[in-house]
Structure 1
């Protein structure tokens, strides 16, 4: 007894047969399916060989279904319509299920944006709505499917997976370091042009806190400029305005591109905090969300691991 999978002809044979039967012409079927008339005729001939039955009576300029062909068309047409409807439903579901991803301004601009084009290239039908905000309340609202926040890994009602830790070090442009070589000496950092971020998140590290980690307390700081978002501060450093605090993983791509350098190679601050991927455990997951979540986890797994620089 033949297995059912052996009874089924290739789908492209059936599509060619359906078009030719409905249009009454191999030539018109070729236009509809964007194939050559020879290809349509060949696929229909192979379908007839598959069943060992004639499906068309071929005239000089016309084709007519045989009784076997008419019976097959009825079943094939219904089956293909079911497949078309199922495909349309899947595409509609795909289109409607946009993944809303919230992240801090720093993560959105510096970690996610450089990666989105690569994601889009591999996942053309998955749409991401990126919401950048430094408001935890907004990032954790019910409208968000996934969220990336800084913290210690505990958010009631959310599943949290760490993406990367928090390592902070000074960064500046190569041109600024050339103009202000004292920026390469830790003891002289308080006197150079320091770029600071003013934020409602008082737990975020500022220059005074960072220098305290290095043992320099109660020092007078010469701040060149203040910004209300971290991406602006980093752009100011790239533009040569002064020295900013660089968060590892957020500025790695700028260091790799040579747009930023670490003027004080041996100095850094490592905290117990990190950046976590959050998912509301009460919200139902969907396929596109899982695709984005897996992508973020893979990006985390591929990240550069922090290793303390060796002392000279």
Structure 2
């Protein structure tokens, strides 16, 4: 029968003390008292039935048996540490938390996110679509996709593309009502954002004021508390919406929505942001590279000027 393995805790204390050749230094690393280290070594030597240290005043030396045991223990613990680090590193690479505004997630990100999955099958991406932005310092998420920038100096923030606001309506609605000028909006129903001052919100009064358009009443109509609901109402022919280019460009391209009047207002931009200290994580850099490429493609395929001014 083989010799019974010594207590693993005592072996761990021994490896630390042997590495430092000092019980006080070992106790500091292990966050215990010096006497606790000494007692563990006494326990180990009693189990082994031989000394592992030669104790002299102000000096500590390994015995021949202690030297041999230390080499084995040091190698074994290093191998365990390397294995744990490898597993942890692999785990980190596979997991990615991404925050997005709900409307942007559903109408811009979701139609193309499968391309990221296909290109990076080793990354498990969790997309969190919430109205409230996360607290990045707590690392609730790895990456955020937001309208506008934040004021955190420890954040890396990169512009994906500028955003624009302009009126849109369905072809079915335009068959019923002639909308050639902004003043014609008085003849139809306006679709409102019930949170016009929120990030990614829209405001008819602000749009009209920016373009110095007078004579249009914007005090009535239907209101919605989510931007993508406004877009859906416009698609259903329920009225005219102020569309964000990022959310309606594809619907204009496929003919489901029509831009009106040739007037637009630039309104901030879509940014991707992440803590600077996370920049070297492979899954973070992979996603940033991918979404920047998608943004370039979006701007090339759905140029705001081409879409806005083409004839209906």
* TM-score of Structure 1 vs Structure 2, range by shorter chain: 0.5 to 0.7
Q: State the number of aligned residues.
A: 223
Provide closer, same or farther for how the CA distance between residues 171 and 219 of structure 1 changes in structure 2, counting only shifts above 3 A. closer
Distance 1:247 1:198 in 2: 15
The SS at the match of 1:251 is helix
Tell me the residue number matched to 1:111.
108
Q: Tell me whether 1:287 sits opposite 2:282 in the alignment.
A: yes
Q: 1:198 aligns with which of 194, 197, 205?
A: 194
Provide closer, same or farther for how the CA distance between residues 220 and 130 of structure 1 changes in structure 2, counting only shifts above 3 A. same
Residues 94, 122 of structure 2: 8 Å contact kept? no
Residues 191, 222 of structure 1: 8 Å contact kept? no
Tell me the residue number matched to 2:243.
246
Residues 134, 140 of structure 2: 8 Å contact kept? no
Residues 182, 216 of structure 2: 8 Å contact kept? no
Quote how far apart the aligned CAs of 1:250 are. 2.1
Distance 2:192 2:210 in 1: 17
Tell me the residue number matched to 1:176.
173
Provide closer, same or farther for how the CA distance between residues 169 and 139 of structure 1 changes in structure 2, counting only shifts above 3 A. farther
Quote how far apart the aligned CAs of 1:245 are. 1.0
Gaps of 5+ in 2: 1-82
The SS at the match of 1:178 is helix
Gaps of 5+ in 1: 1-85
Tell me the residue number matched to 1:133.
130
The SS at the match of 2:305 is coil
Provide closer, same or farther for how the CA distance between residues 311 and 287 of structure 1 changes in structure 2, counting only shifts above 3 A. closer
Quote how far apart the aligned CAs of 1:112 are. 0.5
The SS at the match of 2:195 is coil
Provide closer, same or farther for how the CA distance between residues 211 and 98 of structure 1 changes in structure 2, counting only shifts above 3 A. same
Q: 1:97 aligns with which of 87, 94, 97?
A: 94
Distance 2:196 2:260 in 1: 28
Tell me the residue number matched to 2:183.
187
Residues 58-84 of structure 1: per-residue CA shift (max 9 Å, x gap): xxxxxxxxxxxxxxxxxxxxxxxxxxx
Residues 94, 125 of structure 1: 8 Å contact kept? no
Quote how far apart the aligned CAs of 1:278 are. 0.3
Distance 1:207 1:220 in 2: 9
Q: Tell me whether 1:303 sits opposite 2:301 in the alignment.
A: no
Residues 186, 217 of structure 2: 8 Å contact kept? yes
Residues 90-144 of structure 1: per-residue CA shift (max 9 Å, x gap): 7992687321110111211111011112222222222211111221346775211
Tell me the residue number matched to 1:270.
266
In angstroms, what is the RMSD of aligned CA positions?
A: 3.0
TM-score (norm 1): 0.63
The SS at the match of 1:131 is strand
Quote how far apart the aligned CAs of 1:310 are. 6.7
Distance 2:235 2:305 in 1: 24
Provide closer, same or farther for how the CA distance between residues 233 and 239 of structure 1 changes in structure 2, counting only shifts above 3 A. same
Residues 165, 274 of structure 1: 8 Å contact kept? yes
Residues 144-193 of structure 1: per-residue CA shift (max 9 Å, x gap): 100011115754321100011121111111111112223x3211124421
